[in-house]
Amino acid sequence: MLGWALAFLIIAIIAGVLGFGGIAGAASSIAQILFFVFLVAMVIGLIMGLARRTR
């Protein structure tokens, strides 16, 4: 999932440099959403791992 976020970030940067504002905005929004979903999944995974280890 982090790979997809990085891919959309790169697309947004390239589109922004080339002047495609709409595509750059959409790609950066998608990258931001995917990054936050990745962070939430990582935190949940860490909590589950710690809960499993303490038993």
Q: How far apart are CA 42 and CA 35, in angstroms?
A: 10
Q: How far apart are CA 41 and CA 44, in angstroms?
A: 5
Q: How far apart are CA 37 and CA 52, in angstroms?
A: 22
pLDDT of residue 55: 65
CB-CB contact of 2 with 11 (8 Å): no
Q: How far apart are CA 12 and CA 4, in angstroms?
A: 12
pLDDT of residue 45: 93
Count of domains for the chain:
1
pLDDT in tens, 1-53: 778 888 888 888 898 888 888 888 888 888 899 889 999 999 999 999 999 98
> Where in the sequence is the domain holding 20, given as residue range(s)?
2-54
pLDDT of residue 16: 86
pLDDT of residue 28: 86
